[in-house]
A = this chain, B = another copy of it.
Amino acid sequence: MASAEKESIDKAVIEKIENVGRNALKEIEAGKNPEIQIPLRTLSNVHYDEKERLIKIGNAVQKRSYLNLGQAKRFMQTMLIASACKDLIKTGKTTSIRDLFYMTKHSIGNTQENTFDEQEESDPIIEDLEVTIDTLREELHLFASNRGSLVGNITLVDSGDTIDCRKLGSGGWSIPSIVEKSIIQFKDSEAKFVLMVEKDAVWRRLNEDKFWKKHNCILIHGQGVPPRGVRRLLWRFENELKIPIYVFVDNDPWGLYIYSVIKQGSINLAYESKRMAIPTAKFIGLSSYDQERYQLPKDVTIKLNEEDKKRANQILGYPWFQKPAWQKELRYMLEKGVKLELEALSKKGISFVTDVYLPEKIAKKEWLE
Instruction: Verify B161–A168 contact, CB threshold 8 A.
Output: yes
Whether A205 contacts B351 in the complex (CB less than 8 A), given A107-B298, A169-B158, A299-B105, comes out as no
In whole angstroms, how far apart are the Cα atoms of A73 and B178 in the complex?
49
Instruction: Verify A99–B343 contact, CB threshold 8 A.
Output: yes
Instruction: Verify B106–A146 contact, CB threshold 8 A.
Output: no
A-B contact sample (20 more), CB < 8 A, given A99-B201, A101-B343: A88-B350, A91-B350, A95-B205, A96-B201, A102-B300, A102-B344, A107-B298, A145-B201, A146-B171, A146-B204, A149-B174, A156-B169, A159-B169, A161-B166, A161-B167, A163-B167, A163-B169, A168-B174, A173-B173, A176-B204
Residue of A105, A145, A298 contacting most chain B CB atoms (<10 Å): A105
A 151-193 binary contact with B (CB < 8 Å = 1; else 0):
0000011111111001111111111111000011000000000
Instruction: Verify B299–A93 contact, CB threshold 8 A.
Output: no
Q: Is A341 an interface residue (CB 8 A)?
A: yes
Instruction: Verify A346–B103 contact, CB threshold 8 A.
Output: yes
With CB as the reference atom, state the residue of chain B lying closest to A162: B167
Chain B residues with CB under 8 Å of A300's CB are 102, 105
Picked from B94, B101, B158, B343, the residue with its CB within 8 Å of the CB of A102 is B343
A 51-91 binary contact with B (CB < 8 Å = 1; else 0):
00000000000000000000000000000000000001001
Picked from B98, B103, B158, B169, the residue with its CB within 8 Å of the CB of A171 is B158
Q: Is A337 an interface residue (CB 8 A)?
A: no
Q: Is A297 an interface residue (CB 8 A)?
A: yes
In whole angstroms, how far apart are the Cα atoms of A208 and B158 in the complex?
12
Q: Is A22 an interface residue (CB 8 A)?
A: no
Picked from B102, B205, B341, B347, the residue with its CB within 8 Å of the CB of A347 is B102
In whole angstroms, how far apart are the Cα atoms of A93 and B204 in the complex?
12
Chain B residues with CB under 8 Å of A350's CB are 88, 91, 93, 95, 99, 103
Q: Is A235 an interface residue (CB 8 A)?
A: no
A112 to chain B, nearest CB (A): 10
Instruction: Verify B351–A93 contact, CB threshold 8 A.
Output: yes
With CB as the reference atom, state the residue of chain B lying closest to A97: B201
Instruction: Verify A163–B170 contact, CB threshold 8 A.
Output: no
Instruction: Verify A170–B162 contact, CB threshold 8 A.
Output: no
